[in-house]
Amino acid sequence: MTKKLFWSDPYLTTLDTHVTTVDGNIIMLRETIFYAFSGGQERDSGTIGGYPVLEAAKSGTEIRYLLSSDHGLRIGERVRVKIDWHRRYQLMRLHFAAELILELVYRRLEGVEKIGAHIAADKARLDFTWPESLTPLFSELTAQAQAIIDQDAAIISAFADELQQLRTWEVQGFARIPCGGTHLRRTGEVGRIRLKRNNIGRGKERIEVYVD
Ligand SMILES: [Zn+2]
């Protein structure tokens, strides 16, 4: 199984490792820092052995990387993995900002249901079924989330079940949440949080989350 070093150290931007599988344009690695789309968090951008990664896909507990057909990499070959740190850091800041808002919405609105979540490098979004506009809650949600951010508390990411590759993040005294994403070390790294409403249809509410 590919060892996912993006969990143990999400701040790593370069890694030397070995190719374990080559299946045409698809390769797999012994260890990786290159995150594949999962839990709503978009994948990283970067290179393996100098070749741009065209796609990264989770397959059970494995990650398969799609390279160009001329990659020429062989099993056992030593390669350098590099990720676009600016993109990854934006994804981590927005991911944790969205986690804060989600947890606060669950606590504030009884019976609210999350129907979607996506973390891109420019914004995150959370979709809910709810019969009315959520805008009246925004100043309260923003203030509560910003208060947690400004505490600059430690975010503890850990395995809940290593065999199943299940992870959690925890801010002591606030929450412990199942999530397999890549997380910041401290809440203060989120920065300033901003919310925007987007009505995506009858009885559905979208909260767009931005960080500055
Ligand atoms: Zn998450």
* Residue 199 confidence (pLDDT): 85
In order along its 212 residues, the chain shows pLDDT tens digits of 899 999 999 999 999 999 999 999 999 999 999 999 999 999 999 999 999 999 999 999 999 999 999 999 999 999 999 999 999 999 999 999 999 999 999 999 999 999 999 999 999 999 999 999 999 999 999 999 999 999 999 999 999 999 999 999 999 999 999 999 999 999 999 999 999 999 899 899 999 999 99
Q: How far is the CA of 140 from the centre of ligand 1 (A)?
A: 22
Q: What is the pLDDT of residue 141?
A: 98
Look-up of token digits 């969205």: 98
* CA trace torsion 153, 95, 135, 112 (10° rounding): -100
Q: Residues 145, 148, 151, 154: is their CA dihedral positive or negative?
A: negative
In the reported structure, the alpha carbon of residue 96 is separated from the centroid of ligand 1 by a whole-number distance in angstroms of 7
CB 123 within 8 A of CB 94: yes
Amino acid at 161: D
Rounded to the nearest whole angstrom, what is the distance from the C-alpha of residue 69 to the centroid of ligand 1?
Answer: 33
Q: What is the pLDDT of residue 28?
A: 98
- DSSP class of residue 185 equals S
C-alpha of 25 from chain center? 25
0.85 surpassed by pTM: yes
Q: Specify whether the CB–CB gap between 94 and 102 falls below 8 A.
A: no
Distance 192 CA to ligand 1 centre (A): 19
Instruction: Tell me the CA–centroid distance for residue 78 and ligand 1, in Å.
Output: 32
Give the tokens for residue 58.
Answer: 């989770």
* Pairing label, strands 31-32, 3-4: parallel
- Residue 157 has a CB neighbour count (10 Å cut-off) of 18
Ligand 1 center to 92 CA (angstroms): 9
Identify the helix (H) or strand (E) that includes residue 195. Answer: strand 193-199
How many secondary structure helices (H) and strands (E) does the chain include? Answer: 3, 16
What distance in Å separates the CA atoms of residue 39 and residue 124, rounded to the nearest whole number? 12
pLDDT of residue 158: 97
Compute, in angstroms, the gap from residue 40 CA to the centroid of ligand 1. 7
Query: How many whole angstroms from 106 Cα to the centroid of ligand 1?
Result: 14
| Cα end-to-end distance, the chain, whole Å | 37
**Going from the N-terminus, what domains does the chain have, and what CATH number goes with each?**
3-83 (2.40.30.130), 87-211 (3.30.980.10)
Distance between Cα 49 and ligand 1 center (Å): 29
21 contacts: CB under 8 Å, gap ≥ 6: 27, 28, 75
